[in-house]
Structure 1
Amino acid sequence: MPQLRTQAAQMLSMFGNTYLCEQLFSSMKMTKTSNRRRLTDEHLRSILRISSAQSLSPDIDELASKKRC
C-alpha cells in the first residue's frame, strides 16, 4: 500500500503545473492560423521547438567575426 501511495503521488506531481503546456499550445495556435494551415507537422514541430527554447541567445560577436563580405 505505501508503494501505491508513492507512485500515485509521483503521477499526480508530473501534471501539477500546466503552465508550460498551455503556453506551448497558445504558441502553436498563434503559429498555425488559417492562413498557415498548409504547415506540415514537422515544420510546426520545428517552429515550436525554436519558440520554446527560451534559454538560447545568439553570440553576436562570434557571428560577426565569421561574417564573410
Structure 2
Amino acid sequence: MEKYPNVKQAALKLLSMFGSTYVCESLFSTLELVKSKHRSALTDTHVKELLRVATTEYEPDLRKITEGKDCQKSH
C-alpha cells in the first residue's frame, strides 16, 4: 500500500514534462533549419513533411528497395 499516492502522481507528471520539453525544443531547433529566410515560402504541408524526415530515426534499406530495379543511364 502506498503512503502518498497523490505525491507520486504529481512527481511523475512533473518529471514527464522535462522529457517533452526537450523534444519540443529540439523540434523548434530543427524547424529553424528547415524554414529559414531563404526557404520562407514553404507551405505548412511541406514544413510538416520536412520536419518528419528531419526528426525520424527510420533508415530505409536502400539495397532492398532498389533490388531488381534497372538504372536509367543518360547519354
Q: Measure the CA separation in 2 of the matches of 1:41 and 1:67.
A: 34
Query: How many pairs were matched up?
Result: 67
Normalising by structure 1, report the TM-score. 0.73
Q: How does 1:56-67 map to 2 (within 5 A)?
A: 56-67=58-69
Paired position in structure 2 for 1:26: 29
Can you list the C-alpha shifts for 1:9-28, whole angstroms capped at 9, x where unaligned? 23212212333222211110
Q: Percent identity?
A: 34
In structure 2, stretches of 5+ residues that fail to align are: none
In structure 1, stretches of 5+ residues that fail to align are: none
Q: Which runs of 4+ in 1 moved over 3 A?
A: none
Normalising by structure 2, report the TM-score. 0.68
